[in-house]
Amino acid sequence: MASEIKELDSVTAQKEFIKLRNKMEKIINETSYDEIDEVFGEAFGQVYTDATLGDIVAQDYLGYIFKRGREDLVPENIDLSMKWLILAASNGNNLSIDRLTIFLNYAYDEIVYQPDFGLMKFQNNITESNYTYVIGRLICDSIVDELKINALQIIKEIPYTLEHNSTTMSVYDRARNNSIPVILKFLRGIAQSQEDNTIKVLKEEVKKIEDEELQANRKPKKATLIDKVFQKHPEKKDKPKSENKKEETKK
């Protein structure tokens, strides 16, 4: 599941995305027709580099721009869009999770309506305000693992026009559906391990209390007459039986 504990909330991610998008749009609007391919290409290449190095704002932007395309500069490509958005979501960009809401809804319902979701929610600190981001990130993380999505592989693909189609989406739908039992096992596993640990701690506390009570109620053992005798004459206690028989024979 999610390997790093970093997260970019939707509001901050939206501000950063707008900043990057405006920068790219400014280049398009202010660059002459003769130079646009070179100038925009250089800027777009830098976004690609940043995304490859783990910049989740750049990853989200690429998911956004490939979903719709940009005139003759960036082709519409649903496959590249899904890969970049899912990767960004898996890495903690909550805006990317928002963009994937319709795609993720089926998995949300399958997980949230489990009979024991209340326990999973409590044990995993899931609330009504964060469940779409917590579960959404887990779903995307599972898809990344199943489809082996990584930036170094994505940048090797040459962008071409690929409109939204059921064949491409079926790959992602299947991976999303396969993630459901994985996530349920993960959430239940955390809950179970926490419950087991709680029980273990309680048992240790009970045993400690019982030991203390036993120690407090224990009275010192009274020495018997035979104990006192052997304490004064230990040699009588330790004398071998064979020697006793010899002495009786002599008598």
Q: Where are the domains of the chain?
A: 10-200
Residue 215 pLDDT: 73
Residue 226 pLDDT: 47
Residue 214 pLDDT: 73
To the nearest 10°, the Cα dihedral for 36, 38, 42, 43?
0
Q: What is the value of pTM for the model shown? A: 0.74
Residue 202 pLDDT: 62
Q: Is 76 in contact with 161 (CB distance < 8 Å)? A: yes
Of 187, 85, 60, the C-alpha closest to 134 is 187
Extract the tokens encoding 77: 């490509």
Walking along the chain (251 residues) 10 residues at a time, the average pLDDT comes out as 69 98 96 94 96 97 96 95 98 98 97 95 93 97 97 94 97 98 92 54 66 67 51 51 52 49
Of 107, 109, 63, the C-alpha closest to 85 is 63
